[in-house]
Structure 1
Amino acid sequence: MTSKKRSNMRIIIHIILIIIGITMPLWLGIDEVGLAHLLHQLRNDPSGNTLMLTAFVLVMLNTVRAIPHYIGALLLGDELGHRFNLPILKVIVPVVTVPFVYVIINSYNPLNYHFGGPALILLISITLLHVLGKGRLRPVLKSFVLTQILFGIQWLDTVTFLSGYDFGGGPISSEVKAIALTIDYGYTLSIYSIVLCSIFVVNAIVLAVYLTVSEQKWRMSRDLDIARGEMIESRSGREALHLVHDLKTPLSLMDGLNSLIRLKSDDKEIREYSDKISTAIQSTSDMVSEILYVEKKNWCALGDLIEYVRANKLADQSITYTFELETDDSLELYVNKIRMTRAIVNLIDNAGDAIRNQEHGKVVMKTRFIERELWLGVEDNGNGIPPKQLKKIHQPGYSTKSHPGVGLTFVQAVVEDHQATLDIETTPGKGTIFWIKLPEEILRYEDTDY
């Protein structure tokens, strides 16, 4: 699934959350949570215990009802801000969405949803989460912090002396506070509510700071790993390029000596051997050029590429390597044959590592022609890639083995150099297949335009 499709899916999920919040009063009312019974009991036989229990159930109901549309608005704003690179959307979307939700609910709900002090504080909290977080806090973590704040702030609706400041203006909250004042429990209820509010809000602040610092440390560690991997890859690449460049000198010397042999000898058999040596030298020289010059590409028959992969992959007694080729060998690819071969061999090596200790381990190279694309696949029957590792395997330096991993980073670079894509299909307990999907622009049939 592409990043855009994943983004669209997340947007849909966030909108669904907002819709759930809009419809909550239809199926989660005061009867369903027992609040109606408590209110009836409080009216007929008011007592401190009943009052406190009623206030608690009321706050819980208000919190549960509010969570979907507040979290949905927060995440939707975060996603849209990230997608369109407009951080201001992270604030504007919740500020517009939440009041709109209240308007819709009040249009059908007989009990008026009061948009007052708590709602404003929550919107300010969302703004502060974005501003103070500065992108260091992931949306899911923001949602967790906001839930803590939401539960704490809802308690302010039951503080009696805040009624004049637009807190607790709903009919049920107003009635609960009125009864509390009637039985001289107003002060007790207010202190009880303020203490609980303080506990949850302080806990949310501490949690936000802790998560922000932890997230920052994690990102610094990740960036360090990436930098380390790029350094290793760069150093290895430079050393390899120097080594390959040095091969040009002995190749030129060999070619010169071979030419002298041809000039000095009229023996037919020696000249045939000399021609073969010349062909081998030229082939090796072409390989060196393809390694040295990334942009160097030539038309190469698919059959030749597969045979080159076979020749470059040493046999492993404990692993069965097979080929399932469903395409025409005459199909030609405009590729850097050496780099593409190394990319495929790297995938085969990774697949071999995945099944190293399995009794019936098998690695299969596949070719398919699907929707005018050539798919080159490497499949293993190992244990699959866990979701956590799947998110990291493209990072330079990441490896599940004892040495730094640059193989898949190299594969990704080769794939991008050929305007291709790299897809991964993995099933826990069954195995993994890597697909290199080459576009039709670099394909043709032999001696014809594709």
Structure 2
Amino acid sequence: MRRNKIFMVGGILLIGLGSLFPLITEAAWFNIIFKIRKAINAGDSGHLILAAASMSFLYAMQSTFLFLGTILIIHYSELERIFSRFTTSIIFFLIIFLHIMNFTISGLSWEPVSTILALIIALFIFEKLFWKTNSLLHVSIVLIQVFFAFYWLNIMPVFSPYRIGQSDISFSIKIAALYLQASSVLNFTGFAFFFPFMFSAFTTTILFISYSQNMNMMKENYEKEREIQDMKAKVLENRIYKEVKSLVHDLKTPLVTIRGLNSLLALSKDTGKLEEYSGRIDNSVDKMSEMISNFLYETSRQKLQATELINYIRAQLPLEDESIKIEIKIADKLPDIRVNKIIVARAVINVLENAMIVPCKHAYKNIIFEAKPACNGLYIMIQDNGIGIKRSELPRIWDVGYSTNNTSGLGLPFAKQIIEENEGAIDIVSEPDCGTVVSIFLPSVDSFSSSSC
């Protein structure tokens, strides 16, 4: 509301400036008359052109002030809301009324025909420009060009039969040109200014609109990017929650073991059994401590048998869906590896979960989970018979948030990050309608001491 009042006050000041403009620029108008006399005395039509330029500029500035003032008052008041269907007509007639009032008060004659023509074009451009850019500065720049161009028509003798250029000064310039036999010079000069300035006005309008649209597009893209980042942050929070939930689920097994053994301790009187139960409780506590440490310290790695990692992954597989058949192939001799078991297992499980949720055209979804020794490491393969991935989409599957099946788009980037942090590698080969193969390599403990297979 306060902003509207400020603009309305600005509009009143502009109308006041436009109304007082002839009095403020009285010296400039006398200078125009002086140039006309000088042109007659010197026989030089150049002074007439200077007089015409000064007159057109003064008329253009006055009309621009009145136009902008009227726009501000109408646009930022209740009038636009009340007379929304007739706003343009109200602006048009109000500006004409202000010109007539100004002529009555100041005594300076005005040019009704050229002013009306300029107003029609100015209102047309205003409707296109202001609602696109919402910038009064842009509107002002274009308005000055339009009014300046049309007021050049007033000094052209060729338009005299059409009641254009009937004010005292315009008529004096044309009479002087007739006396100096320079009417053709004024006609040529008028066209030389009219067409370039009109072309400039429309070109400037197009440029301003284009600039405004580009800025709005950039703003929209920024807002969308921020929304995407917010969405990714929320999805990441959900991912962390899921990992924590998985860890809590894993911790339940040793906790149940501890609870059961503790109840047996209370019942047992056999000293040998007490020692056995105590040792098993210690092992369960160690497992819990290891799980928590692995989760809290992602960079920590432990030496373990690959079979231990594979068994841990198998224990986490969700097998509730009867339409999914998982074939597990585990080689007899797997190498020892040095990885963060909990985190790497979650990475592999993410890949398996992706294979489970990918759309499939077959009656059953077949997934092959294979683990076997490789050159200086462990090779894990996860293959599905889903719809596959297009070649054009393969380079983007590692991008955070990108997904081909309406998921969070965090599973594969998470898996890639974890595998590479554990000095491994992950690769995907896929063909549309043929399925996808994900290959994971984890280096063995002694891989750095051996450079060949």
**TM-score calculated relative to the size of structure 2:** 0.49
**TM-score calculated relative to the size of structure 1:** 0.49
Larger of the two Rg values belongs to structure = 2
